[in-house]
Amino acid sequence: MRKAIIAGNWKMNKTPDEAKALVEALKPLVAGASCDVVVCVPAVDIAAAKAAVKGSKIKVGAQNVHFAASGAYTGELSADMIKAAGAEYVIIGHSERRQYFGETDTTVNQRTVAAVKAGLKAIVCVGESRAEREAGYTDALVEYQTLIALTGLDKNDLKNIVIAYEPVWAIGTGLVATDEQANETIGVIRAAVARKYGKAAAGKLRIQYGGSMKPNNVKGLMAQPEIDGGLIGGASLKAEDFAAIVNYDK
Ligand code: PEP
């Protein structure tokens, strides 16, 4: 049995003081959660969030990481830096980074390897655009994105990887993949991982769904056998909504 993991992606929202307030509001609401709970916050909020989660089961994540250990990369942060600041997780290859900041499958792979080698847990995002789905490329695309992202990692590293299947057309749009669509595509990703790393390793890999997951649709999605959690954007900014998603099984 895979333990579910629900992670919030705060995107570019919240100052450190606001981060502290949101975490403090969240803490009592998720105290009885049976899944892993993560908040992926802006880098400047990591220290404040880390201090605020003390005494709870909430873990802190970052939203990006550079692949080099140090050097002339103005504005970037290394895996050691975000880990030292208090992050245990990091989102890599979110579609907004691919769309607006030139992230490619190759740099997603480099960042994933750097994160895992530094001892972070990587939440690696894959997913198709609406045009790619309509053209029938979804399965090939998510397989390709996943296997490239994992290049250079071995099956022992998979315990530090979470894949987030996020159809780009469902992110921030209010459109959500049907339970069956999400389950089927996540099954395709797991089968690709099984071909490369074996069935046992793929069977342990956690694969989330992301894209307009909300309190009113989480139960149906989480009832699907392949779906091991969610990456939550908009709804993670409200403590009650995020907590309702985290407590989907209550
Ligand atoms: C996301 O940003 O990863 C996301 C899934 O956003 P939303 O839940 O707002 O669609």
CA 205 to ligand 1 center in whole angstroms: 21
Residues near ligand 1 (Cβ within 6 A):
9, 94, 166, 171-172, 210-213, 231-235
- Of 66, 94, 96, 128, which one is the catalytic site residue? 94
Which residues lie closer than 8 Å to 202 by C-beta, 6 or more apart? 158, 190, 191, 193, 194
C-alpha–C-alpha distance, residues 176 and 135, integer Å: 19
Domains of the chain by residue range: 5-246
Closest CA to 182 of 236, 146, 235, 218: 218
Residue identifier of the C-alpha nearest atom 7 of ligand 1: 233
C-alpha–C-alpha distance, residues 41 and 228, integer Å: 21
Is there a catalytic annotation at residue 88? Answer: no
Give per-10-residue mean pLDDT for the chain (250 aa).
96 98 98 98 98 98 98 98 98 97 98 98 98 96 98 97 97 92 98 98 98 97 98 98 98
CATH 3.20.20.70 fits 5-246, yes or no: yes
pTM for the model stands at 0.98
Is there a catalytic annotation at residue 94? Answer: yes
- Provide the pLDDT for residue 1: 82
Which residues lie closer than 8 Å to 166 by C-beta, 6 or more apart? 94, 95, 125, 126, 127, 209, 210, 211, 231
**Atom number in ligand 1 closest to CA 173:** 10
C-alpha–C-alpha distance, residues 211 and 172, integer Å: 7
Burial 166-182 (b: 16+ CB within 10 A, else e): bbbbbbeeeebbebebb
**Contact (CB, 8 A) for 182 and 224:** yes
- Provide the pLDDT for residue 231: 98
**Atom number in ligand 1 closest to CA 174:** 10
